[in-house]
Amino acid sequence: PESIQEAIDRYSKYYLDKHTGRKLSWQTSAGAAELKATFGSGPDKYQRHELCVSTYQMCILLLFNDRDTLTLGQIRTKTNIPDQELRRHLISLCTPKHRILKKGSKGKGITSDE
């Protein structure tokens, strides 16, 4: 997402200005984030939660700050997460035990572009 890319760019500039001759590489599959989220359908039904998620899951969830519904293709385009990783993280966000996202199809998998 754009907000994450802006933060990466700012930090990269800061780091490379401080440490000349070094190379900075991002291991996006190895990070974690803590998000504060509010769920509910009305002012009297809002519930606040703190979510500990992977970097990829954070990028996916941040997209839903702007829209209520996204397709697999839209998420793939906006995050640039490799397809297999994207599907794996989306499935974990849609599991019945801790359902954070609702998917359009029935079953455990994610179809081509839901």
Q: Residue 36's Cα: distance from chain center in Å?
A: 13
Structure tokens at 85: 């990783």
Amino acid at residue number 1: P
Inter-CA distances, 15 with 1, 3, 8, 52, 80, Å: 21, 18, 10, 26, 24
pTM (global) more than 0.75: yes
Strand partners, 52: 34
Residues 6+ apart with CB under 8 A from 89: 54, 56, 57, 60, 81
Rg over alpha carbons for the chain, rounded to the nearest Å, is 16
CA atoms within 13 A on the CB side of 22: 11
Q: What is the pLDDT of residue 43?
A: 76
Query: 21-54: per-residue pLDDT in tens?
Result: 888 888 887 889 999 988 877 778 888 889 999 9
The whole-angstrom separation of Cα 114 and Cα 105 is 7
Structure tokens at 65: 């700050």
Query: 49-99: per-residue pLDDT in tens?
Result: 899 999 999 999 999 998 989 999 999 999 999 999 999 999 999 887 888
